[in-house]
Structure 1
Amino acid sequence: MTDKHLSSQFDSELSGVSTRVMEMGGVVESQIRTAVYALAQFNEEAANQVMEIEARVNLMEVEIDRELSSIIARRQPTARDLRLLIAISKTTANLERAGDEANKIARMVRRIISSGGARNLPASELNIASDLASGLLRKALDGFARLDVNVALAILKEDDAIDKEFDGFVRKLITYMMEDPRTISPSLDLLFLAKAIERIGDHAKNIAEFIIYVVKGADIRHASMEEIESIVR
């Protein structure tokens, strides 16, 4: 087989596994949207749907990892191709963990529905943060599909907005707990939900970092924003 044919086949395999990652991302996005709906509406049926999707997400992660291992063993890629395969593996892991956070939200929503304790607390204010987090994940997947470092840079900057929403929500919950100790238990439930939403944003941020790693060959996980902007530009 000629080198050209080998290269063409390798490109086809890279394209195939990248497509699988996008499919997995779509499933996780659906899981998060359903979890957010379950939270906003205190809808137990939606929460159950989220938990049913979890098994599918886990299976997709295992299948993609198996495919990646096979490609690396057979092709022994170097340079950017190897970085892409590593980034795909890490992206898949972050998608699975984002799905785990959606599953946590669903479980907590079911608990809140059963207890009824958190309905009088500001649960609706989590909608802003959840919309930000799911939007970031969507952007991260789009940026990864196109390996767009400018999209990645924008995501890294937007992640701060989710952190600010989380901090503000925590302060509000502390006020509720100080004014009425009876709200401590349901407030802790909502804090758990807020942290899960924040973590979804963190996983989107991680995927953005992998985009820059593939394109620029730089590990920016602990770099300052100024250093990252210098690398991207």
Structure 2
Amino acid sequence: MTRTLWDSTIGKKTVMAVSGAIMLLYLVAHVIGNLKIFFGPGEFNHYAHWLRTVGEPFMHYEWTLWLVRVVLVVAVAAHVTAAYQLSRRGLKARPGTYVHSRPRSSYATRTMRWGGVILALFIVWHVLDLTTGTVHSGGFQQGHPYQNVVDTFSTWYGNVVYIVAMLALGLHIRHGLWSAAQTLGVGSRTRDRALKRAADVLALLLTAGFIAVPVGVMTGVVS
């Protein structure tokens, strides 16, 4: 039964919708945490430390954080796999002589594929930059996330990579949220306008919230 559901188009779309919802919830929590950087190094570093002690003493140090990471990795893997397989299925089903006379989808829809690639590459860079410090510019300081963030956004390439990725994220959320609502049966003819407006607003707020951090460093508000 599970195998049959996964093999079906609706099953893959459901996997994309559910995994996307999990990632969206994480992004909302993540941007709220990121904005704590505007309250100074003490507040931001304390927040980063708190993430590693959530659930203590029942959970060991960093166990909750690693649990969240595992759930996110599974969600990302499921999302990417389902998206790739749906894309391949769509290409196989398309007649060889089919040609678009004019684009029928929105800009966000047409850029979902390359936007997903950009985000996948960004996640790898982001982890290597601010989690492991492997590609971090300057001296990575373990336990000093505030200074590490300032170091990253003190470089032009750090800002370019991050801002481009966040713009791609906004477009991805804008289309993905509405599409997920249709897949899960939340959407309807009467709700479509409200759902699209909600997707626009959420995408804008998340994009602005994430981009506010590098802009804050560039302008000297965060230093």
Q: What range is the shorter-chain TM-score in? A: 0.3 to 0.5
Higher RCO, Cα 8 Å, sep 6+: 2
After TM superposition, the score normalised by the length of structure 2 is 0.40
After TM superposition, the score normalised by the length of structure 1 is 0.39
